[in-house]
Amino acid sequence: MKYSQVRDLARRYAAGALSQENYRSQRRSLIEDITSGRQALTYRDDEIMPFTRHGNIKLFAVAAIAILLIGLGFIAAWKAGSNPQHKDPAAEAAAVAPTAPQSPGSALVREFVETNDWNDGSVQDFTRRWHALPAADQNQGRADPTYGRLVSELRQQLSSEKAITGTGGTDAHLARLQSMAQTLGISDMP
Protein backbone atom coordinates (compact mmCIF):
# COMPACT_ATOMS: atom_id res chain seq x y z
CA MET A 1 0.00 0.00 0.00
CA LYS A 2 1.20 3.51 -0.75
CA TYR A 3 1.40 6.11 1.97
CA SER A 4 1.64 9.87 1.73
CA GLN A 5 2.33 12.60 4.25
CA VAL A 6 -1.43 13.14 4.61
CA ARG A 7 -1.97 9.45 5.33
CA ASP A 8 0.82 9.44 7.93
CA LEU A 9 -0.80 12.42 9.63
CA ALA A 10 -4.18 10.63 9.70
CA ARG A 11 -2.57 7.51 11.15
CA ARG A 12 -0.93 9.50 13.95
CA TYR A 13 -4.30 11.11 14.75
CA ALA A 14 -6.04 7.71 14.76
CA ALA A 15 -3.37 6.34 17.09
CA GLY A 16 -4.03 9.20 19.53
CA ALA A 17 -0.70 10.93 19.03
CA LEU A 18 -2.45 14.16 17.94
CA SER A 19 -5.44 16.04 19.30
CA GLN A 20 -8.29 16.89 16.93
CA GLU A 21 -7.30 20.56 16.82
CA ASN A 22 -3.64 19.79 16.24
CA TYR A 23 -4.51 17.24 13.53
CA ARG A 24 -6.80 19.67 11.68
CA SER A 25 -4.22 22.45 11.93
CA GLN A 26 -1.37 20.29 10.59
CA ARG A 27 -3.60 18.82 7.87
CA ARG A 28 -4.73 22.28 6.71
CA SER A 29 -1.12 23.49 6.65
CA LEU A 30 0.07 20.37 4.78
CA ILE A 31 -2.69 20.61 2.18
CA GLU A 32 -1.99 24.34 1.65
CA ASP A 33 1.75 23.65 1.21
CA ILE A 34 1.07 20.85 -1.28
CA THR A 35 -1.47 22.85 -3.32
CA SER A 36 0.74 25.97 -3.41
CA GLY A 37 3.73 23.89 -4.53
CA ARG A 38 5.90 24.60 -1.49
CA GLN A 39 5.92 20.91 -0.65
CA ALA A 40 5.72 17.96 -2.99
CA LEU A 41 3.29 15.15 -2.28
CA THR A 42 5.34 11.99 -2.05
CA TYR A 43 4.25 8.40 -1.78
CA ARG A 44 6.17 5.52 -0.34
CA ASP A 45 5.50 1.79 -0.38
CA ASP A 46 5.38 0.17 3.02
CA GLU A 47 4.87 -3.46 3.78
CA ILE A 48 2.29 -3.94 6.44
CA MET A 49 3.92 -5.90 9.17
CA PRO A 50 1.51 -8.07 11.13
CA PHE A 51 1.06 -7.07 14.73
CA THR A 52 3.11 -3.89 14.43
CA ARG A 53 0.86 -1.95 16.75
CA HIS A 54 1.37 -2.41 20.46
CA GLY A 55 -2.35 -3.09 20.98
CA ASN A 56 -2.36 -5.92 18.43
CA ILE A 57 0.49 -7.65 20.22
CA LYS A 58 -1.41 -7.50 23.51
CA LEU A 59 -4.56 -8.78 21.85
CA PHE A 60 -2.64 -11.63 20.26
CA ALA A 61 -1.03 -12.54 23.60
CA VAL A 62 -4.37 -12.51 25.44
CA ALA A 63 -6.00 -14.63 22.72
CA ALA A 64 -3.13 -17.14 22.77
CA ILE A 65 -3.33 -17.46 26.56
CA ALA A 66 -7.11 -17.88 26.44
CA ILE A 67 -6.86 -20.62 23.82
CA LEU A 68 -4.15 -22.34 25.82
CA LEU A 69 -6.27 -22.26 29.01
CA ILE A 70 -9.33 -23.57 27.20
CA GLY A 71 -7.25 -26.39 25.74
CA LEU A 72 -5.87 -27.28 29.16
CA GLY A 73 -9.40 -27.26 30.59
CA PHE A 74 -10.60 -29.70 27.92
CA ILE A 75 -7.64 -31.98 28.52
CA ALA A 76 -8.23 -31.96 32.30
CA ALA A 77 -11.93 -32.69 31.85
CA TRP A 78 -11.20 -35.50 29.41
CA LYS A 79 -8.65 -37.07 31.73
CA ALA A 80 -10.97 -36.78 34.74
CA GLY A 81 -13.77 -38.42 32.78
CA SER A 82 -11.61 -41.31 31.60
CA ASN A 83 -9.82 -41.89 34.92
CA PRO A 84 -11.37 -44.92 36.64
CA GLN A 85 -10.33 -43.66 40.09
CA HIS A 86 -12.74 -40.72 39.88
CA LYS A 87 -15.86 -42.60 38.78
CA ASP A 88 -18.97 -42.37 40.94
CA PRO A 89 -19.60 -45.78 42.55
CA ALA A 90 -23.36 -45.26 42.62
CA ALA A 91 -23.44 -44.47 38.89
CA GLU A 92 -21.22 -47.46 38.22
CA ALA A 93 -23.49 -49.75 40.23
CA ALA A 94 -26.55 -48.44 38.42
CA ALA A 95 -24.91 -49.07 35.07
CA VAL A 96 -23.89 -52.60 36.04
CA ALA A 97 -27.05 -53.63 37.88
CA PRO A 98 -29.68 -55.05 35.55
CA THR A 99 -32.92 -53.13 35.58
CA ALA A 100 -35.96 -55.00 36.71
CA PRO A 101 -38.52 -55.52 33.98
CA GLN A 102 -41.41 -53.11 34.19
CA SER A 103 -44.77 -54.45 35.18
CA PRO A 104 -47.56 -54.07 32.62
CA GLY A 105 -49.29 -51.57 34.91
CA SER A 106 -46.19 -49.37 35.22
CA ALA A 107 -45.56 -49.63 31.49
CA LEU A 108 -49.14 -48.56 30.71
CA VAL A 109 -48.94 -45.56 33.08
CA ARG A 110 -45.53 -44.46 31.74
CA GLU A 111 -46.59 -44.86 28.11
CA PHE A 112 -49.72 -42.77 28.62
CA VAL A 113 -47.89 -40.01 30.51
CA GLU A 114 -45.04 -39.88 27.97
CA THR A 115 -47.36 -39.66 24.94
CA ASN A 116 -49.49 -37.03 26.72
CA ASP A 117 -52.39 -37.65 24.33
CA TRP A 118 -55.74 -36.86 25.96
CA ASN A 119 -58.07 -37.39 23.00
CA ASP A 120 -61.09 -39.65 23.36
CA GLY A 121 -59.44 -42.64 21.67
CA SER A 122 -56.38 -42.55 23.93
CA VAL A 123 -58.43 -42.17 27.09
CA GLN A 124 -60.74 -45.06 26.08
CA ASP A 125 -57.76 -47.25 25.14
CA PHE A 126 -56.06 -46.57 28.48
CA THR A 127 -59.25 -47.33 30.42
CA ARG A 128 -59.83 -50.57 28.46
CA ARG A 129 -56.23 -51.75 28.94
CA TRP A 130 -56.28 -50.82 32.67
CA HIS A 131 -59.44 -52.90 33.19
CA ALA A 132 -57.72 -55.86 31.50
CA LEU A 133 -54.80 -55.78 33.97
CA PRO A 134 -54.76 -58.05 37.02
CA ALA A 135 -55.08 -56.27 40.38
CA ALA A 136 -51.38 -56.84 41.19
CA ASP A 137 -50.30 -55.08 37.96
CA GLN A 138 -52.73 -52.23 38.65
CA ASN A 139 -51.18 -51.80 42.10
CA GLN A 140 -47.70 -51.74 40.59
CA GLY A 141 -48.92 -49.11 38.13
CA ARG A 142 -50.21 -47.00 41.03
CA ALA A 143 -46.84 -47.42 42.78
CA ASP A 144 -44.94 -46.19 39.69
CA PRO A 145 -43.36 -42.70 40.14
CA THR A 146 -45.18 -41.41 37.04
CA TYR A 147 -48.59 -42.31 38.45
CA GLY A 148 -48.70 -39.07 40.45
CA ARG A 149 -48.09 -37.11 37.26
CA LEU A 150 -50.90 -39.05 35.53
CA VAL A 151 -53.34 -38.17 38.34
CA SER A 152 -52.25 -34.52 38.32
CA GLU A 153 -52.67 -34.22 34.55
CA LEU A 154 -56.03 -36.01 34.70
CA ARG A 155 -57.23 -33.48 37.30
CA GLN A 156 -56.04 -30.65 35.07
CA GLN A 157 -57.85 -32.13 32.05
CA LEU A 158 -61.04 -32.50 34.08
CA SER A 159 -60.85 -28.91 35.32
CA SER A 160 -60.28 -27.59 31.82
CA GLU A 161 -63.10 -29.66 30.34
CA LYS A 162 -65.51 -28.58 33.10
CA ALA A 163 -64.59 -24.95 32.49
CA ILE A 164 -65.33 -25.37 28.80
CA THR A 165 -68.68 -27.14 29.24
CA GLY A 166 -69.85 -24.89 32.06
CA THR A 167 -71.37 -25.88 35.37
CA GLY A 168 -74.50 -27.65 34.15
CA GLY A 169 -73.41 -29.23 30.91
CA THR A 170 -71.60 -32.45 30.19
CA ASP A 171 -70.00 -33.69 27.01
CA ALA A 172 -68.64 -37.03 25.81
CA HIS A 173 -64.99 -36.17 26.44
CA LEU A 174 -65.71 -35.04 30.01
CA ALA A 175 -67.62 -38.28 30.61
CA ARG A 176 -64.64 -40.33 29.33
CA LEU A 177 -62.23 -38.42 31.59
CA GLN A 178 -64.53 -39.00 34.59
CA SER A 179 -64.75 -42.69 33.70
CA MET A 180 -60.94 -42.86 33.60
CA ALA A 181 -60.78 -41.25 37.05
CA GLN A 182 -63.27 -43.79 38.41
CA THR A 183 -61.34 -46.64 36.79
CA LEU A 184 -58.16 -45.49 38.52
CA GLY A 185 -60.03 -45.17 41.80
CA ILE A 186 -59.52 -41.43 42.11
CA SER A 187 -62.40 -39.96 44.05
CA ASP A 188 -61.32 -36.42 44.85
CA MET A 189 -61.72 -35.00 41.35
CA PRO A 190 -62.56 -31.34 40.67
Spatial CA neighbour of 23 closest among 7, 32, 10, 5? 10
Tell me the pTM. Answer: 0.46
Q: Which residues make Cβ contacts (< 8 Å) with residue 139, sequence separation at least 6? A: 105
Residue 94, pLDDT > 80, answer no
Instruction: For residue 92, give the 3-state DSSP assignment.
Output: helix
> Where does residue 109 rank: exposed (0-12), middle (13-18), buried (19+ CB within 10 A)?
buried
**Sequence letter at residue 16:** G
Tell me the mean pLDDT in the region 129-146: 89
Amino acid at 86: H
42-88 confidence digits (pLDDT tens): 877 765 554 455 567 888 888 999 999 999 999 988 887 776 555 55
**According to the model, what pLDDT value does residue 19 have?**
92
- Domain extents for the chain? 1-65, 104-184
